[in-house]
Amino acid sequence: MCGFTMTGMRTAHGKAAVGLLLAAWACGDTLDVMSTPSGTITVSGPASARQGDVVMYGAEVRDTSGTLVTDSAIVWSVSPLGAGFIAADGRFVGYQAGAARVIARAGSLADSVTVVIQLRGLGGSLTVEGRGTIADRFTSDLWVHGIAAYTGTWSTRTEPGNTVYVWRIDDPTRPALTDSLRLDASTVNDIKVRSDGTVGVATHEGSSDGLNGITLLDLADPLHPAVIGRYTSGLGSGVHNVWIDGDYVYVAPDGVGVGLRIVDISDPNNPTEAAQFTGGSSFLHDVYVRDGLAFLSHWNDGLVIVDVGNGIAGGSPSSPTEVSRIAAIGGQTHNAWYWPAAGYVFVGEEDFGAPGILHVVDVRDLRQPREVATYAVPGGPPHNFWLDEAGGVLYAAWYGQGLRGVDVSGELLGRLELQGRAIASSLYGGSGACPSATGSFTCTWAPQLEAGLVFVSDMNTGLTVLRPQF
């Protein structure tokens, strides 16, 4: 259900997860506006556009004497409904191939141009290169570095999620287990490796002694990690996710209102707390750090951007300082990937009660983030992402919907799933229960692109290696 004001400003009623922008797309853009003196309106812009490419239209209003009117309220619409989306500033993106009309109105004046929307014409495949199977535990996150891949374990299958598995992957057609580490945990949700490959971090949830936290790993022999020690101070509620950036581990602990912990591991044998930051009253699910900025996926508090060394707000790892936040992206903010060259953050919404939605947030002005696009897949939410920034392809793990390769090149606007941007998907294990106590159905958790291959952790089966052919 939709409603519109008399000045052309949209209002909408509907699922908060999609927000005002998506509600406007669903309802169309034929709006009433306040009256404008009679005269003429002339629309200008391209006569053709490819699906998904953003093009610009303009409208010129003149009064009866031919004088240019600079303060008219222009309202844009597209016909037929659903052929595309046009923003309030005249930026248009086509959805359906074929001819459409772009219409501008100013009071009783109207003009239009015809645009021919051409198919985006993408296609390709994600084919299985190799498999490494874990049948007695659910697999959680993964991290790939060099010839090794590390996978965690989640909850209880026939065995508890207390293990880090180590895989040799120099022959990706045959990932081979080389080691496993048992931790005092019921879930090892996340594992990360520092960029120099010398230190790893595994998370603990449900430790039997109540001392949850993180375990630091010496990766001098990457195929046979050695435990350096365990850091638990202030992390008794459990740790869900981490990120390593240089000498600091950014920790997302479990619990409502617990907030971010930053741990100094410059001496891995003696880790110390560098700082704390509380960004909201809800669960901090995940943290991603890049260019001195921490992107906090703060569940129902949305996405919070924190300066931890960038300088935009004078922050540092020992003095994290909020830059901005965007709350109206549906709640259940699960994960984020920052693409500084394009100025976008891709944000996952893990809402199992609705179609899965990925939100695209424009952060070219870091102090004023705004949602500009979405990508939806019916049947469940997304989990983790990996972005091939050179190729402009987002790899999204979508639980039982498999791995998705999505074209995110160029300017992003509107509903991406309607723009021919889906390149390929893979249900390499078939459709079925996700997770499944006994089945080997597809249940993707996390992808990572490495050496032209996509390594995917799968809750039901372990490690799958896919080759993109686009």
Q: What is the pLDDT of residue 356?
A: 81
Measured CA to CA in angstroms, residue 51 lies from 245, 351, 377, 408, 412 at distances of: 38, 28, 18, 13, 12
Q: What is the pLDDT of residue 146?
A: 98
How do the pLDDT tens digits run along the chain, 470 residues long? 333 232 332 222 233 333 333 333 333 443 333 444 589 999 999 999 999 999 999 999 999 999 999 999 999 999 999 999 999 999 999 999 999 999 999 999 999 999 999 999 999 999 999 999 999 999 999 999 999 999 999 999 999 999 999 999 999 999 999 999 999 999 999 999 999 999 999 999 999 999 999 999 999 999 999 999 999 999 999 999 999 999 999 999 999 989 999 999 999 999 999 999 999 899 999 999 999 999 999 999 999 999 999 999 999 999 999 999 999 788 899 999 999 999 999 999 999 888 789 999 999 999 999 999 999 999 889 999 999 999 999 999 999 999 999 999 999 999 999 999 999 999 999 999 999 999 999 999 999 999 999 999 999 999 999 999 99
Q: What is the pLDDT of residue 392?
A: 98
Pick from 245, 229, 236, 175: nearest CA to 207: 236
Q: Give the H/E segment covering residue 349.
A: strand 344-349
Q: What is the pLDDT of residue 37?
A: 54
Report yes or no: 49 and 120 within 8 Å, Cβ to Cβ: no
Query: What domains does the chain contain, in order, with CATH numbers?
Result: 2-118 (2.60.40.1080), 125-469 (2.130.10.10)
Q: What is the pLDDT of residue 331?
A: 87
Q: Is 66 exposed, middle or buried (0-12, 13-18, 19+ CB in 10 A)?
A: exposed
Tell me which DSSP letter residue 137 carries: S
Q: How far apart are CA 17 and CA 154, in angstroms?
A: 27
Q: Which two tokens stand for residue 82?
A: 């659903």
CB atoms < 10 A from the CB of 211, how many?
Answer: 14
- SS3 for 100? strand
Q: How far apart are CA 206 and CA 254, in angstroms?
A: 11
pTM metric for this prediction: 0.92
Q: What is the pLDDT of residue 330?
A: 84
Measured CA to CA in angstroms, residue 157 lies from 135, 160, 459 at distances of: 9, 6, 10
Q: What is the pLDDT of residue 97?
A: 97
Q: How far apart are CA 71 and CA 220, in angstroms?
A: 67
Pick from 21, 37, 46: nearest CA to 73: 37
Q: What is the pLDDT of residue 8?
A: 32
Q: How far apart are CA 375 and CA 353, in angstroms?
A: 16
